[in-house]
Structures are given as C-alpha cells and as structure tokens.
Amino acid sequence: MTSYWQLFITFSKIGAFTFGGGYAMLPLIQKEIVEHHQWASEEDIMDYFAVAQCTPGVIAVNTATFIGYYQRGILGAIIATLGVITPSICIILTIASILTSFSEIAMVQHALNGIRIAVCILILQAVLKLFKSSVKDIFGTILFIAILSLSFLSALPTIFLVILSAVVGLGYSYIKKKRSSAL
C-alpha cells in the first residue's frame, strides 16, 4: 500500500523539478505515477488529466489530488496536494525575494528566455503523448481537428469546447451502440 510519505515525496519531486506550470508537469507526473510507481495505468492517467483539466484549479494540483485520493483517500489527497505545491511555494518565495534585485540584468533575462523555450518543449511532449493515447480512430481524429480548429478560429471558452467534445463523443458512442444493436 502506498504510504503518505511516498505520496508527499513523489509529488514534492514533481513540484520541484518541473518548471512552467501544470502542463509542463504532465510528462513527469506520467513517468512517476505510471512508469515508476505503477499507481495508475496510461488510460487512468489520461482520465485524471482530462478531469483535472475540466475542474477549477491548476491541472497538476488537481491531478495530484485525484491520485492521492485514489491511493489513500481524503488524507492522501491532501498530502499529495501539499507535496506538489510545497516546492513551488518555497521556490517562488526565494526567487521573488532575490529576482527583483536582478531582473534588469541581461544574463538573468536570457536565462528566463531559455527556461521558457524548455517549458514549451515539455508542453509539446505532453500534448504529443496525450494525442497518441487519446486519438485512436478516424472519429477521434476528426473530432480533434474540429475542436482544434474551433479553438484557434473562434473565441469560444475552453470549457465550452471540452463540454462540446464530451457531448459529441457521447452522441457518437450512442449512435454506434444503437447501430451495433440493430444488426
């Protein structure tokens, strides 16, 4: 059984070694939770990411909360959440107290620009991994292209696109089930 200490240490590591916010944490969460600890399958982690995206708050914190809950209940959820946010709070407080003095230095600005590029790569890796495990057939591909197009070409809120995707997916599933039962 997963200990509270394991939850805290694992999510502290995730919180400490990923930069750029929740999406940049997804590859490390996947590696630690699925590959290293086997606390969830690839399918489970994709479900956690999807639900975490739809619920208010930071995706990494929501995912940590879900995994902690499924491992050790409510106290596990609290401990996993504390684990993922504690390093960030400590790092932010330290950087904020120091950075204001050095923010105008060109070397610091270049370092931050380099970190932003690395974060973009981490997010792209997470998107590609999610795409490979989520888009499995022609319907999924068409829905992906349609929703991606809507997100770029319209000002529709993200939550609307998520709900629209779910409704279309449910409708497709219903029609597919109806057709197979008619045969």
Given a contact cutoff of 8 angstroms between Cβ atoms, the answer to whether 23 and 126 are in contact is: yes
Which residues have a Cβ under 8 Å from the Cβ of 86 and sit 6 or more positions away? 12, 15
Return the domain boundaries, the chain. Answer: 4-133, 135-183
d(CA 43, CA 6): 22
Which residues have a Cβ under 8 Å from the Cβ of 131 and sit 6 or more positions away? 144
pLDDT at 15: 87
pLDDT at 1: 66
Q: What is the mean pLDDT of each run of 10 residues along the chain (183 residues)?
A: 90 82 78 90 86 83 91 95 92 81 83 88 85 87 94 92 93 91 79
pLDDT at 126: 82
d(CA 63, CA 16): 16
CB-count exposure of residue 165 (10 Å: 0-12, 13-18, 19+): middle
pLDDT at 4: 94
